[in-house]
C-alpha cells in the first residue's frame, strides 16, 4: 500500500465525520477553540482507534483465513464503499448530534467509525510492515481531525460545495482500494 493510498484511505474513512461536523457547524454558531479541539481530536482518535482495533481483530484471525484474505478484504471494502455511496444518494436525515457534550461526541465518533473497524480488518490481511501501519493509523487520526475541523468551520459552505458527492467519492475510493487488493493477489 503506497502512502498516497494510505492518505486516500484515511480521506475515504472520514466522509461520515465531514457530514456530521458540517451539520453541526452549520447550526451551532461560533465554537470556541477548546471545544473545537475537543471535537476534532476526539473524532480523530476514535476513528484511528477503531482502525487499529479492526487490525488487531483481523491479525488474530489471519492464520485461519490466509487463503481467502484478499477476497475478504475486497468484500469488506466493496460493502463499505457501496454502503457509503447508497447513503450519499439517500435523502439526508435531519437528526444531528450535539458535539459540545462529551457523551454525544463519543457516540457520534463511534457511529462515524464503524467502517474504520472493517477497514482495519482489511489492513491486517494486507500484512503491512509496522511503519506502514503506524503511518496509516496516524494518517487516519490526522486526516479525520483536520476534516472535522474543516467541517465545523465550513459548515454550510462545504455542504453547498460538496453535498452528497463527498460520500460518493469516499465510497469509490474504498471500492478502488479493494479492487486493487484483489487484483494484486489474483494477478501477481
**Which triple of cell numbers denotes residue 15?**
466522509
Contacts of residue 169, Cβ cutoff 8 Å, sequence gap at least 6: 12, 15
pLDDT at 9 over 80: yes
For helices 114-126 and 3-13, angle between their N-to-C axes, nearest 10 degrees:
160
Lowest mean pLDDT among 15-19, 45-49, 167-171: 167-171
**Which triple of cell numbers denotes residue 121?**
480488518
Q: What percent of the chain has pLDDT over 70?
A: 88
Per-residue pLDDT tens for 172-182? 877 887 788 78
Backbone φ, ψ for residue 14 (5° rounding): -100, 20
Rounded Cα distance, 147 and 155, in Å: 11
Our count of domains for the chain comes to 1
Burial class (CB in 10 A: 0-12, 13-18, 19+), 21: buried
Burial per residue of 112-144, b for 16 or more beta-carbon CB atoms within 10 angstroms, e otherwise: bbebbbbbbbbbbbbebeeebbebbbebbbebb
Q: Give the position of cell 494486507.
A: 126
Burial per residue of 161-180, b for 16 or more beta-carbon CB atoms within 10 angstroms, e otherwise: ebebebbbbbbebbbebbee
Between the two ends of the chain, the Cα-to-Cα distance in Å is: 15
Instruction: State the pLDDT at residue 99.
Output: 80
Which band of pLDDT confidence, cut at 50, 70 and 90, is reported for residue 158? low
Instruction: State the pLDDT at residue 166.
Output: 67
Three-class secondary structure of residue 6 per DSSP: helix
Rounded Cα distance, 73 and 163, in Å: 28
Per-residue pLDDT tens for 102-141? 888 888 888 888 888 888 988 888 878 889 999 999 999 9
Instruction: State the pLDDT at residue 43.
Output: 96
Residues of the domain holding 111 = 3-23+32-90+99-187
**Which triple of cell numbers denotes residue 174?**
474504498
How many CB atoms are located within 10 Å of the residue 111 CB?
Answer: 13
The answer to whether 119 and 9 have CB atoms below 8 angstroms apart is yes
Per-residue pLDDT tens for 59-99? 888 778 777 877 887 887 788 778 878 877 887 665 555 78
Amino acid at each position: 500500500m503506497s502512502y498516497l493510498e494510505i492518505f486516500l484511505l484515511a480521506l475515504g474513512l472520514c466522509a461520515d465525520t465531514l457530514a456530521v461536523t458540517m451539520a453541526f457547524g452549520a447550526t451551532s454558531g461560533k465554537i470556541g477553540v477548546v471545544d473545537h479541539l475537543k471535537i476534532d481530536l476526539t473524532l480523530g482518535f476514535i476513528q484511528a482507534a477503531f482502525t487499529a482495533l479492526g487490525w488487531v481483530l483481523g491479525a488474530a484471525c489471519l492464520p485461519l483465513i490466509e487463503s481467502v484474505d484478499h477476497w475478504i478484504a475486497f468484500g469488506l471494502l466493496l460493502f463499505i464503499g457501496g454502503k457509503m455511496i447508497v447513503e450519499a444518494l439517500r435523502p439526508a436525515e435531519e437528526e444531528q448530534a450535539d458535539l459540545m457534550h462529551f457523551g454525544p461526541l463519543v457516540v457520534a465518533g463511534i457511529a462515524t467509525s464503524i467502517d474504520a473497524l472493517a477497514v482495519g480488518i482489511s489492513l491486517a490481511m494486507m500484512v503491512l510492515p509496522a511503519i506502514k501501519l503506524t503511518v496509516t493509523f496516524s494518517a487516519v487520526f490526522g486526516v479525520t481531525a483536520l476534516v472535522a475541523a474543516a467541517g465545523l468551520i465550513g459548515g454550510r459552505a462545504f455542504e453547498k460545495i460538496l453535498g452528497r458527492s463527498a460520500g460518493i467519492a469516499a465510497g469509490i475510493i474504498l471500492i478502488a482500494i479493494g479492487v486493487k487488493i484483489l487484483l494484486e493477489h489474483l494477478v501477481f
